[in-house]
A and B are shown apart, each in its own frame.
Chain A
Amino acid sequence: MAPADPPLDRPSLRRRLERSKYLYLLFTGPFLFYVLFEYAPMFGVLIAFKEIKVFRGLIPMLTAPNVGFKYFEQYLADPYFWQLVRNTVLIRVLGLAIGFPAPIILALMLNEVRSDPFKRTIQSITYMPHFISLVVICGMIVNFVATDGVVNNFLAFLGFERTPFLVKPEWFRPIYIASDVWQDVGWGSIIYLAALTNIDPQIYEAAAIDGAGRWRRLRHVTWPGILPTVVILFILALGRIMEVGYQKIILLYTGATYETADVINTFVYRRGLIESDFAYATAVGLFTSVIGFAFVIAANRISRAVGETSLW
Chain B
Amino acid sequence: MVGIARAATHGDRVFGLVNGLLLVALAFITLYPLYYVAIVSISHGYAVVRGEVGWWPVQVNLESYRAVLEAPYVLISYRNTIWYTVVGTIVNVALSAFCAYPLAMKFFYGRRFFTAFIVATMFFKGGLIPTYLVVRSLGLLDSMWSLVLPTAIVTYYMIIMRTFFQNIPEELHDSAYLDGANDIQIFFRIALPISTPIIATMTLFYAVQHWNSFFPALIYLSDRAKYPIQLVLRSMVIEGDVANMQVEFQDDERIVDTTVKYAIIMVSTVPILLLYPFLQRYFVKGIMIGSLKG
Contact = CB atoms under 8 A, between A and B. Distances in A.
A71 to B, nearest CB: 12
B147 to A, nearest CB: 13
Given A33-B95, A45-B126, A135 B183 contact: no
Given A136-B265, A138-B238, A44 B136 contact: no
A215 B15 contact: yes
B120 to A, nearest CB: 9
B124 A42 contact: yes
Interface in B127-147: 127-138
A293 B123 contact: yes
B129 A282 contact: yes
Contact of A122 (B27, B54, B214): B27
Contacts of B98: 26-27, 29-30
Contact of A201 (B1, B9, B218): B1
B156 interface: no
Interface in B144-184: 149-153, 158, 182-184
B5 interface: yes
22 contacts: A17-B109, A20-B105, A20-B107, A33-B149, A33-B152, A37-B149, A38-B121, A40-B130, A41-B127, A44-B129, A114-B5, A124-B280, A127-B280, A128-B276, A131-B272, A133-B272, A136-B237, A136-B268, A208-B3, A214-B16, A273-B129, A285-B127
A211 B114 CA distance: 57
A265 interface: yes
A39 B276 contact: no
Contacts of B136: 55
A257 interface: no
B214 A135 contact: yes
B234 A214 contact: no
B293 interface: no
A56 B99 CA distance: 33
Interface in B253-273: 258, 261-262, 265, 268-269, 272-273
B85 interface: no
A273 B130 CA distance: 11
A13 B114 CA distance: 17
A204 interface: yes
B39 to A, nearest CB: 11
Interface in A108-160: 109-110, 112-114, 118, 121-122, 124-129, 131-136, 138-140, 142-144, 148, 150, 153, 156-157
B137 A135 contact: no
Given A214-B15, A293-B124, 20 more contacts: A22-B182, A23-B102, A23-B108, A40-B126, A42-B121, A58-B134, A109-B19, A114-B1, A125-B31, A128-B273, A128-B280, A131-B276, A131-B279, A135-B238, A136-B237, A182-B33, A213-B15, A214-B16, A285-B129, A286-B127
A219 interface: no
Contact of A126 (B26, B33, B219, B276): B26
Interface residues of A, number: 94
A142 B126 contact: no
Interface stretch (B63-71, B194-202, B284-292): B284-292
Interface string B204-216: 0000100111110
B222 to A, nearest CB: 12
A127 to B, nearest CB: 6
Interface string B11-55: 110011001101110110111011011000000000001010010
B23 A36 contact: no
Contact of B121 (A17, A34, A144): A34
B19 A23 contact: no
Contacts of A118: 20, 23
Contacts of A205: 3-4
Contact of A272 (B121, B132, B183): B132
